[in-house]
Amino acid sequence: MTIEVFGAYDHLIFKDMRNTQVVVIDTLRATSVMITALKNGCRQVIPAIEIDEAMRRKRSMPDQNVLLGGERDAVKIPGFDLGNSPKEYKRETVEGKVLVITTTNGTAALRRAIGAKRVLIGAMNNVSAVAKKLAQDPGPTSIICAGTRGKFSLDDIYTAGCIIARLKEYVPEPVLDDLGYTSEMLYQRYRDNWRDLVGNAVHYNVLIKSGFAGDIDYCMQEDTADIVPEWTDGIVR
């Protein structure tokens, strides 16, 4: 199995993903939100890139119970039902509903994975389940980190390293690219004190300043969810 890690979704320009299985991660916080919503009974998640697009998607489903969620600059978008804090996506709020979500980097990263053989949704909350699912297909594998505005983000790299470490339980000697090697090394080095690494991330500090410290603790927990959402035909479920 070959595993490539992309530090931000913009780094995919040279990548042909047709024969590749992909996992997209935005641990802080978009993919953690999607996993939480689906775990709590949300029927499907529709990622949108622009705010207007999200609103159009909601209007196009007048017969469905649709929630609009997401953020710009980490805070809830005016007129939306929910922001990008996983704690808002409780069962009583999302069960049986459709979520249309737009975030700065996470939903764009997901849309950039169009054309891959299959697209899984990952975060620290479901690393072991993701690794187990990836191991079912020994072919080329890419881990796409959403990153932050085109740059890599330590929380996503740490998550990529954790997925690789878990995958090695099933595939002992995967062929890693340089960032795959680096991310696993960082995960192994900081697994008992992740904050010493992730605490340096720009977006970590944006979230702290915006009052979302609790979200970080939630999103950095390993294996609180046993589901691996998959993106097919524009829908995550």
- Residue choice 5, 12, 24, 28 for contact with ligand MLT (CB under 6 A): 28
Query: Using CB under 6 A as the criterion, what x/- string covers residues 105-144 for binding ligand MLT?
Result: xx--------------------------------------
Stretch that binds ligand MLT, among 17-25, 88-96, 100-108, 192-200 (CB under 6 A): 100-108
Answer whether 107's CB lies under 8 Å from 49's CB.
yes
Helix (H, G, I), strand (E, B) or coil at 184: helix
Answer whether 69's CB lies under 8 Å from 77's CB.
no
Stretch that binds ligand MLT, among 4-12, 103-111, 132-140, 223-231 (CB under 6 A): 103-111
> Residue 74 interacts with ligand MLT (CB under 6 A)?
yes
Helix (H, G, I), strand (E, B) or coil at 40: coil
> Residue 30 interacts with ligand MLT (CB under 6 A)?
yes
- In whole angstroms, how close is the CB of 70 to ligand MLT at the nearest point? 8
Quick one: DSSP state of residue 77?
Answer: P
Q: Cα(40)–Cα(218) distance, rounded to whole angstroms?
A: 15
Stretch that binds ligand MLT, among 15-23, 41-49, 104-112, 185-193 (CB under 6 A): 104-112
Terminus-to-terminus CA distance in the chain, angstroms? 26
Nearer CB in complex with ligand MLT: 29/57: 29
Q: Cα(164)–Cα(152) distance, rounded to whole angstroms?
A: 17
b (16+ CB within 10 A) / e for 70-108: bbeebebbeebbbbbbbebbeeebbeebbbbbbbbbbbb
Stretch that binds ligand MLT, among 27-35, 48-56, 60-68, 178-186 (CB under 6 A): 27-35
Token representation of residue 224? 């609180």
- Residue choice 6, 24, 29, 218 for contact with ligand MLT (CB under 6 A): 29
- In whole angstroms, how close is the CB of 136 to ligand MLT at the nearest point? 28
* Element (DSSP H or E) covering residue 191: none
Site for ligand MLT in 147-206 (CB under 6 A): none
- In whole angstroms, how close is the CB of 48 to ligand MLT at the nearest point? 12
Answer whether 100's CB lies under 8 Å from 57's CB.
yes
Token representation of residue 187? 């995960």
- Residue choice 104, 125, 126, 142 for contact with ligand MLT (CB under 6 A): 104
> Residue 82 interacts with ligand MLT (CB under 6 A)?
no
Answer whether 51's CB lies under 8 Å from 101's CB.
no
Q: What residue ranges bind ligand MLT (CB under 6 A)?
A: 26, 28-30, 71, 74, 84, 103-106, 146, 207
